[in-house]
Structure 1
Amino acid sequence: MLDYQAKKDLLQHKIILVTGAGDGIGRAAAISYANHGATVILLGRTQAKLEAVYDEIMARNAPEPVIMPLDLATATENDYQHMARLVTLQFGHLDGLLHNAGLLGSLMPLEQLPIATLEQLLQVNVVAQLALTQALLPVLRQAPAASIIFTSSSVGRKGRAYWGAYAISKFATEGMMQVLADECDGSSVRCNSLNPGATRTAMRAEAFPAEDPLTLKTPEQLMPLYLYLMGDDSRHENAQAFSAQPKRPASHLS
């Protein structure tokens, strides 16, 4: 599906929430979904970045998005429930949820990994994802066919030295997807994971500061698979682990 050609109206009348929508892949996905007809709920922690994405979507004459600022590091269960009520009241249903927001943390041996660092990553990369999913499942079930996409990583499918906290959080993400997909099997909600691979983002630059970013694909180049998994052409896909790029040499994995 890496060369999937999405119809212009693939996401017409769909309501899709994207976390981490202010930067990188989340920003590209939000704009791409809007370009294909979706009303996008932009969730992120930085209001100014969300407003910039909002402005870009409006400049493209796409459906007007909704801004929902929320810091996943500090959000409470009440925050998630309040957001879910707003989505329900405004739209009545939710067709898609892209879990894109995440923290990288520091690369170091597990022997030296501060437990506080692990707890922080698990809070954003795992606990917040589950809390948000729990809150939104009732409104997702109101859609004829809803898609949940969990963002994975190659180090969440095969462990690699020094990627400790991040790898642990992504293994947990894969497990969460599989459990939820099994629980949703046969229902109107489907769940899959997507490893974007090495991509030209700020997080990638933080992990590989000496790497030439021009050798990497841009977030926009990965959008065919993001569109496929969010649109109705993937209604039969559930509990699958997708990768947006062919495998690269080990030293270049994401």
Structure 2
Amino acid sequence: MKPVMQLLHFGYQQAMSCIFPVAIFGTLFLSSQIDWPFIHRYDAILLILLGVQVLMYRSGLETLDEIKVICVFHVIGLLLEIYKVKMGSWSYPEPGYTKLLGVPLYSGFMYASVASFMCQAWRRLKMDMTGWPGLAASGLLGGAIYLNFFTHHFIPDFRWWLTALVLLVFWKTWIIYRVRDATYRMPLTLAFLLVGFFIWLAENIATYFNAWKYPDQHETWQIVGFSKISSWFLLVIISVIIVAQLKHVKAGREQKKKD
């Protein structure tokens, strides 16, 4: 009976951590089914998601620190979206007043939702890490991964070399998480892969409801290429590096206050 209760509790905490991602994909679905008479769909999505963020903060579902992290990811994601749209990787074909260089401002929330999930899961499951490689190694690797998303359009794509470096840098790093009175752990790289896979599934849902379109989806929708899992795998690493480093900094400050 205990394993069942543990699984149910773990599932509940994961579900609560996914409130903002679920709100995003729910909004994408519902907005695609409505004929908006007085506002463009992209603009409506932005207003709805801003409202969701305010409600989550005011209700205590998200803390001020988590909101700050989400804002950082919104900017990081929006910059990447602007560049990728300019390079023709995908497009946002619908009109909207809240578009910047062809990219609707709500798109940054899709990246921010990853940060929201990680922050919430970290807090709810009382997560920690062992074998963290430190700011220098993780920061340089995260920067190289982010830069590669831009540079692979005009120089060779180094994603597989970067993936090998991820395995090397984080091979001793484990996530520790707690479910009720029990403590569990898993390799951090496995967590990267699992989250990347589920984001790829979500990406298929998002493109199906016209959140954006890849070049091969303009005529008719088709499944997003499996190679995108590796892209999300690497992007998740950037997210974890930022969140984990901020958590370590905050923990260090709190410890100094106690001392």
Q: Same fold per TM (> 0.5)? A: no
Larger radius of gyration between Structure 1 and Structure 2: 2
Higher strand share: 1
TM-score (norm 2): 0.29
